Structure 1
């Protein structure tokens, strides 16, 4: 029995010292405006220390402002993280207009909303299985205006 316990401890120590992918939310920007919602885009960088690509099982997100969840969702199977490299991921977050307008009434005339974006990046590591990399990012969302609706269409045409 003693040998089995030693083997378990050895494996547990090796797994604890194992390198894992690292991730950061680099930025969150306004992307587009439709009649029902505003879409924001979180830019996430994920570094893979392994010589093999790693599958991302899913990304879960929750956007909060004033202690209220204003958007949440899951992005299933968003792809792989490149081997021995950093992969940039775009995570779209849609917020309904009715939620934004409700927040704007609560906040006042500056048209900025303080927010916190929480992401759970679920990655499949060989041998170990699924791990979740928790990420959090705080910032300020500029509420879209009527002029943003028209300027976003013209900026899309310029790109």
Structure 2
């Protein structure tokens, strides 16, 4: 009986953690990419479909960057103390202004790393941002990315 309860608890924890990571990653991705979108070209009313390879690249980027985002946020939070961490938008230099110099360096480093990880996963920033927008408007795409995140967490080699 304990073995069944343990498995059930473990599966619930995995599901809850996966959902938390997914929500956090989508929120972070939205913040990071919001200004990048301003600089990207407009696209047609019906955006192009997202291929399975793009879904995998997008999910891999999100999984790579989420722990780095948390680390950067924690480091900045420690530096600014009890004040709330301001919204940091990578392509908006003004969003860095209220940060102390060392915290500003952490934010800049994070943004540079984010762009590199996107590119290392075979995407352009513009395409990554378009997918981010589409995820916000498409339950089907959101589900596909969520399932890909789960699969990659279970088997990172796939």
Q: TM-score when scaled to structure 2? A: 0.24
Please state which structure has a larger fraction of its residues in helix: 2
Higher relative contact order (CA 8 A, sep 6+): 2
Structure of greater Rg: 1
Q: TM-score when scaled to structure 1? A: 0.24
